[in-house]
Amino acid sequence: MRDAEQVNANPPGGTPCSDGRADLGVILRIHAHLTPSDRLSPQSLVCATTAPGILTQQPYPGGAVAVHSFPTDHSDLEGPEERKLQYITALVEIAGEDAKHVNMYVTVSLTSILVTLTQLPFSKLLGLPLALRIILVLGVGIALSGAALFFRYVQAIHRARMALVRCLASANARHARELWAGSAGVWKYHSGEYIWGLRLTVAGQGIMACVVAYLLLAG
């Protein structure tokens, strides 16, 4: 959630350059296309004197190593107004995609609950042992709780998107980043809703699946 910039800006194990400076670019080295002498070692860093920052190396499948760098003072967010507007517009689009992603979870979860309760013969549900009926009700309740938390998270994203759109008027890229991935960002204050929404949804759906499996196997 989740934001690529937020994840890579201060990643675990980040290694600062010895002179406190870092390249602003993102360098991708694919080992399969390089000679052994050209390949990056785990300790290799690419440092430049452009802006204060942190460089990190992250392994990729197949031996690829990506070196990510973001200046800690967010100076990369300064520049022509057109570039700032492009950055803010991209954040708005990312927020929209994130909301769609979470809404898909909610839709699948609610659909599964409706199918379980409406498509299975009600007589079979009533014929279940009391303990299984209680477990089924708990599973439905847990899944619904997860959906409710997801809904709250989507609401937070929607409010953030409206604030991001307002940043377009002033081309304030720094404030836009703060609203999305900074100390006042969505993930900072609402990550618990997403994480617990996911956990409760998976747990509730798992419980219901076990009860349905019992019905199928019991005949």
90-144 confidence digits (pLDDT tens)? 999 999 999 999 999 999 999 999 998 888 888 888 888 999 999 999 999 999 9
Predicted TM-score (pTM) of this structure: 0.66
Predicted pLDDT of residue 218: 80
Sequence-separated contacts (24+) of 83-92 with Cβ below 8 Å: 84/171, 84/172, 84/173, 85/168, 85/171, 87/173, 87/176, 87/177, 88/164, 88/167, 88/168, 88/171, 88/172, 88/173, 88/176, 89/168, 91/164, 91/176, 91/177, 91/180, 92/161, 92/164, 92/165, 92/168
pLDDT digits (tens, 9 = 90+) for 142-179: 999 999 999 999 999 999 999 999 999 889 888 888 88
